[in-house]
Structure 1
């Protein structure tokens, strides 16, 4: 029957306890060795972590004059005033306490003493309980450990009598955990077995090997902690510093509680690669029980008022320690080389597709100061998998074993959309000392992005390929020249005409889809230009969008002649060639029409064809004029002469003009029947009044005398009325004039 099962079967009733005591087998306690009886008489010197069951006597851990500790094994007997004890064998337990069951359970109590506190320190006891499945809510305290050990002993000697915990005035420490005490008590009772007096294992510890050596940068170890008699050791490590740490076998940091290192644990250490020679010391200590004296019965030798004091049971802690030393020396470090490549222009890792300079900083270690070396580099094109032929070299003499040296590489245009890797080698003469040629090393890698797409346009009149679009309207064909597109990818071309004359967009747009078969090529976009843009300068704006609708290139330069077309215009101003006024003699004469033009192409040949139109009927007169000219500027004037015969007296004649290019295409007209500027009047022969000279009719006055093609809002009837009034006024004036020879009748 285990102690735990026995404990569960006990009730608090005294009669039941007595009956149970009678039925317990008396043969379970082996005979003990008589040699335990000693002549020394230890005295009680201090009382640690007392337990006051009833407030009138104490129990718990006592410290004896011989350095051992002792626990109470008689719940109902007092210790107050008693200080001298005889060491006795278990069979010498006093007989005045017949209910006490020490004799039946002395062996289990001996086991509890050797596995409880203070034989085991609190760290070892806590770790042991946890390993056995017990729960400790917080770190175990000495008070909790002592209390649990005492409770386990009482449960065997005086089962059911102790039903604490008691309030603080009876020895309970504030902050102590009853649950932790119960967990330790359960562990002790569940695992207690009969351990004869003088038996048990003294604590031992071995730290092996005693000496371990290696090089900096290595994983040093293992140092193995092996314990006997107890399961855990307390380990202290000295010599750990910056660059060194406790690790596992892989070199990963090790998380271990050095206050409770389990037997069999292997410790490793890592030291920084560049660490100087040094050492680490590993000290391990264990605490347990001395089986030779632990379990000794202490019987009070004094009588007070005829009563003896309570009996105690002795526990003698024992300890052991061992040390190991781990040493290291600096490792022999071969030369190393690492490089960092960047763009000299801005320090980033991107080189302009048009070309640039790579600066590669080579970082070396382990060279011989004062010795001359050669740093040789070459550029590897990771995209093509081939060397580029771009190289650089320089000699250098380091002043220290470790340092840096830089090389520059000139990258010409032609490496767009490439990944370039710098390969570096350090040579001693012709012997390679160290090489760093890793195509996957990002530090020595730069990229050359693809050339961005470009777009250029050339606009012209679709009809004849020149830069003039007739004022009557036409079609502009814009030829786009693109570069650096992705073959097979679809793009969209969006265009709109910009009116440079007004500074505004026209709203005339065009679009086209493009899927290039090569990176560079051309495409056409057509724009339909209606009439109404006479004299305007139109510029084609184009955008190129990818499949996501992102603009990848555009060309919107209002000053670019290649994407500019012109719409010509003309305006006329007709007059009598003889005197420059607007009235022609009924007998005939010559009309000069000054044609003002805009937006022509200098150096090209043009023709102006004109005809006189009868304003009253709108019918052509058949009287024509023509002029061919080659302008030296885009804007200017040209004169056209019309010979007016007699026979048009009293008529208003309007000059209609047409401008033709060298191909005979009409590119501009000015045919406004109401335009006073291009109108002349033919007078009528005056009636001869004796003594009154003939009066020349007054020609109509244009509302806006200008060469521009502007008109008037006045109606013909109003103009006619004005002419009649003017004529009458002239007649009245003439009547007051003195007759001359010119006034004689025809």
Structure 2
């Protein structure tokens, strides 16, 4: 297995790239193959929700009924290091205690068909905590004095008006004025790319050839590629486009797996890990048993540990299928793609139906899945090949409320809330703001952000990337700049 040779130091974001290479029968006609589970999360941050930390009160008004709720910033702890701040974009769903979340593209979240998704990102870039000079924010928005609590509440209310299209108001007058300002001022901003991903997530090829390429997409400064250890099949190595062994890579670098002629048929797992800041505006959805926990959108990030995975297979002859999968909210199912790089057809059974991927051809089959219900199905091929897919579709909001016509009067509609949208009681004690580091995308007091606010320019935080998997809620499609996700 390729080992990590060094880690990031200080503010330099260095990624560690490891290939787990195992000599085994390939998943085609070439020999016996092991059953395994196809990874559904293609890249980015995974984190644990810590709860609502900086908040005030808001009121939902629907169907002639009202409900008071907590509105503000959540905190998440990133696996293996880092802190995230987020707002809710799924008001009617409750959060689950210590829920696990993963970074996903908008098309895999409740924003997947929301034409106002880009306006939500504008709000995030032009309000608290990205704008942490509350006096300046209050002056621009014309709100009067703002506290961290009321700034967070006003920002959350403005986001809900676009994410859930319901009538919701902040209880505090200054917070309500901020929500009105942000709602009216919002402009469409492009979706941010993933913090880290590999494209594609599965590759295959003939022994004696170079497999790939796999393209690194990241906002980290660099990627470190360690040489093979003695446990790797003899001669198998990671190389660049020129065929030479590669020890360092950056965003856009194309990596290949060089498998010498005569190597035994085999499989490889590929994992990329980096220290990077997750871009503001990335969506986060629940994982596993936490898929019903309300969807979040990133408002701030420290430098955090992010990762991505891919797989590789090779054989001397016969069918050589690379299998990948991603959830498809638009079609209500899971797209299973088989790219057959071999010289023979690959016939397989998927969810009880037989399919064939011709030699040197790619075939995608969508397996239907029901909203909010766990699915588990298997691809079965020759020589004992089994690939299992598990997860749950979470593509729809609880209700489909009306559209907002102005910042203070939002069209209502739909059923009243069926569950509390936050884990904190609206009348309970108020939490403190997440402590912000000196650098990063967490709140930065005294920064130049107010200039961007006045100019109305979405300054960026655009990060090249592409590949996160899971899914989400709603039914309108926003423009996306993530062709690799």
Question: What is the TM-score when the length of structure 2 is the normalising length?
Answer: 0.32
Based on CA coordinates, which of the two structures has the bigger radius of gyration? 1
Q: Quick one: higher RCO (CA 8 Å, sep 6+), 1 or 2?
A: 2
Question: What is the TM-score when the length of structure 1 is the normalising length?
Answer: 0.21
